[in-house]
């Protein structure tokens, strides 16, 4: 294994995700929501008891915490989620789906799963899909445990005075 093979694997994974997400968005899989709004509803629906702390949603989301908070406010204003005080500490915020939010999440989810199946089933058989899922799960689980970038590798590329990447030697 080399950094080149790791980069090629990452690029393939990233590109297929982008390609499929563009297809799903063009097909309006998530309508009347955006994909990010649907992602929030989906993650809440999978949380124990159908409710999640805002900080836990933040860990599963690609959104920055302030953006997630604003999105939850918008979803609450639309009647899809509700904010509650956390019972165990009084300071935390728990977000739960409303009945309308749960129904919309299920409806969009069914449509989206059919789109996923139409995009993948003709390319990968059941065993290949299981292997892909297992490999992705291994990467996801290992990522937090990976910790900081080793000292012998810089965490970021060197930059010039304008903050742009410096040419490689």
Per-residue b or e along 90-104, where b marks 16 or more CB atoms closer than 10 Å to that residue's CB: eeeebbbbeeebbeb
Q: What is the predicted pLDDT for the residue at 7?
A: 95
Q: What is the predicted pLDDT for the residue at 153?
A: 52
pLDDT at 129 over 70: yes
Asked if 97 and 90 count as a contact pair (C-beta separation under 8 A), the reply is: no
Tokens linked to 115 = 């789109």
Per-residue pLDDT averaged across 13-30, rounded?
95
DSSP 92: S
In terms of pTM, does the model score above 0.85? Answer: no
Q: What is the predicted pLDDT for the residue at 152?
A: 53
Q: What is the predicted pLDDT for the residue at 66?
A: 86
Determine which helix (DSSP H) or strand (DSSP E) holds 94, and give its type and residue range.
strand 93-97
Q: What is the predicted pLDDT for the residue at 169?
A: 42
Per-residue pLDDT averaged across 73-94, rounded?
88
pLDDT band at 60 (very low <50, low <70, confident <90, very high): confident
Domain annotation for the chain: domains and CATH numbers = 3-137 (1.10.10.10)
């Amino acid at each position: 294994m080399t950094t080149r093979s790791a980069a090629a694997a990452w690029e393939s994974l990233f590109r297929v995700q982008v390609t499929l997400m563009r297809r799903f968005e063009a097909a309006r899989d998530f309508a009347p929501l955006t994909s990010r709004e649907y992602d929030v509803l989906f993650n809440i629906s999978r949380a124990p008891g159908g409710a999640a702390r805002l900080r836990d949603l933040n860990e599963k989301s690609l959104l920055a915490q302030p953006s997630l908070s604003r999105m939850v406010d918008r979803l609450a204003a639309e009647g899809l989620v509700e904010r509650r005080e956390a019972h165990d500490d009084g300071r935390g915020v728990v977000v739960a789906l409303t009945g309308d939010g749960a129904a919309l999440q299920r409806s969009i989810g069914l449509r989206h799963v059919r789109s996923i199946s139409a995009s993948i089933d003709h390319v990968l058989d059941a065993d290949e899909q299981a292997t892909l899922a297992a490999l992705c799960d291994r990467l996801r689980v290992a990522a937090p445990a990976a910790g900081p970038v080793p000292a012998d590798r810089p965490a970021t590329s060197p930059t010039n005075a304008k903050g742009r990447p410096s040419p490689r030697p």
